[in-house]
Every structure is written in C-alpha cells, then in structure tokens.
Amino acid sequence: MTLTEYSRNRLYKTVSDWDVPKEFADPMYNYLVYGYQPGSFFTYVLANNFAKAILSSHPGNTIEALKHLVGWMCSTLPDETWGSHAKVDNWCDMPWAMRRPILETHGLVYTEKEEVMLILKDESTYTALNL
C-alpha cells in the first residue's frame, strides 16, 4: 500500500481546515490509512464514548481541541470509520484494498489514477503549515 504525497496532503488538509492539532492528526491519519489502532483516547472518541475518552486523555489535551477533532470527524469521516467500538475494530481489520476506495469516495485521498496524473503534471501539492 502506497500513497503519494498528494493523497497524504489531501487528507491532512481536511484536518487543517478544522484546526485539529497535529498531535491528533497523526494518529487519525495512521488509523485511516494504515488501520493502526489509534490508542485508547482516540479509540474512545471514535467509538463515541466521551466519558472514557476524557478519563484516558492526556492532561495537555483541551476541550477546544476535542471539539475541533469531533467537528472534523462529523463532517469528514466515512461512517465506516467511527460510531462504535465495532466500527473501529472493523476498520482496523479491513485490508487496504477495501479501505482505500472508501477514503477515495469521501475525497480523503486521490485515486491511483489521479495520483499518477498529478505526478506526471508535476502539480504542486498543499502542505498544511500548522501541521
């Protein structure tokens, strides 16, 4: 499984648009793209268990940052990726060949064909300055 810089930056731009902190963006990227378990705090957030999310949160996390993360999730993430522990587990167990089309459909990554065309055109790519 390989994503180009174009797809990586496309996904990070959606996070940046919601002012989600980098400390939150990286685990979400790794969860969405690689199916990595995002850790207890993020797993609880993705599973809509905010009481346990708050209990397992790092002391430096703020409610404001959590609001930005949840706003991004509600407006951007595919239904398959969040809402319950079962959905989180299913996403992590899903092979890349099944995850990628879902991410493509939701505009989080480019299709392989789009990536090739961007590379061939030598298009510049967005880089999130605050991430």
Domains of the chain: which residue ranges?
Answer: 5-121
Cα separations in angstroms, 120 against 78, 85, 130: 29, 41, 28
Q: b/e for 53-66, b at 16 or more Cβ within 10 A?
A: beebbeeebeeebb
What is residue 60's predicted lDDT score, i.e. its pLDDT?
A: 87
Angle, CA 81 vertex, CA 78 and CA 86 arms, to 5°: 140
pLDDT in tens, the chain (131 residues): 678 899 999 999 999 999 999 999 999 999 999 999 999 999 999 999 999 999 999 888 999 999 999 999 999 999 999 999 999 999 999 999 999 999 999 999 999 999 989 889 887 776 654 55
Tens of pLDDT, residues 63-79 = 999 999 999 999 999 99
